[in-house]
A and B are shown apart, each in its own frame.
Chain A
Amino acid sequence: EVQLVESGGGLVQPGGSLRLSCAASGFAFSSFYTAWVRQAPGKGLEWVGRISHRADNFATLYAASVRGRFIISRDDSKKSAYLEMNSLQHEDTAVYYCARENWSAFEYWGQGILVTVSS
């Protein structure tokens, strides 16, 4: 069974940092891209960014709203992806999802993890 489990969320002050993890199981993690998508409370989905697999040189891509502040990485030996978030702002408050991306389709999603930016 394909599973993605996010962790590392919580409450952080404006300007602070947080690192989310996405642990995968049930499939060949190293063969797929991993995407991050967020959803602010009561709002729609917003693509955050993604990291490709080794064959595509672990290339990363980011939404304009997070570029320069967020960094996506992965460790295939741990079947995990990471979202490092810096200079967090109130508007970054959201549930963050990781998803398995295959040919531009987000096939499987984690349950999500809440990040709250507040003083």
Chain B
Amino acid sequence: DIVLTQTPLSSPVTLGQPVSISCRSSQSLVNSDGNTYLNWLQQRPGQPPRLLLYKISNRFSGVPDRFSGSGAGTDFTLRISRVEAEDVGVYYCMQAMLPLPTFGQGTTVEIK
């Protein structure tokens, strides 16, 4: 199975400041169709996960533009340009290549 490693595992951040989360894959996530199915999800405390970005950098419906994604191949980054209080939670990268989807271990974003 493809292993996704996120760093850091915890990120204390000041309100209004940026934060970046890295996701590294054990193998290239470029699919045979040319797409890279690397997604980012947010899980606020006590809530189900929510899709933020799909195929590296495409914001899902209703996601604020302070969330952005970048990367290629095996290295990907989620960036929040200016952290707001509602951004507190755990962020997961997720790959959807065959044979089986896998998640990163999660990165906790908290306010200093």
- Report A's interface with B, CB cutoff 8 A: 35, 37, 44-47, 61, 63-64, 97, 103-112
Contact = CB atoms under 8 A, between A and B. Distances in A.
* Chain A contact residues: helix, strand, loop or mixed: strand
Interface of B: 1, 37, 39, 41, 43, 48-51, 54-55, 60, 90, 92, 94, 96, 99-106
A36 to B, nearest CB: 11
Given A105-B39, A105-B60, A111 B48 contact: yes
Q: Identify which of A35, A46, A47, A111 gathers the most chain B CB atoms within 10 Å of its CB.
A: A47
A106 B48 contact: no
A107 B1 CA distance: 23
Nearest to A49: B100
A97 B105 contact: no
Contacts of B101: 35, 47, 104
Nearest to B92: A45
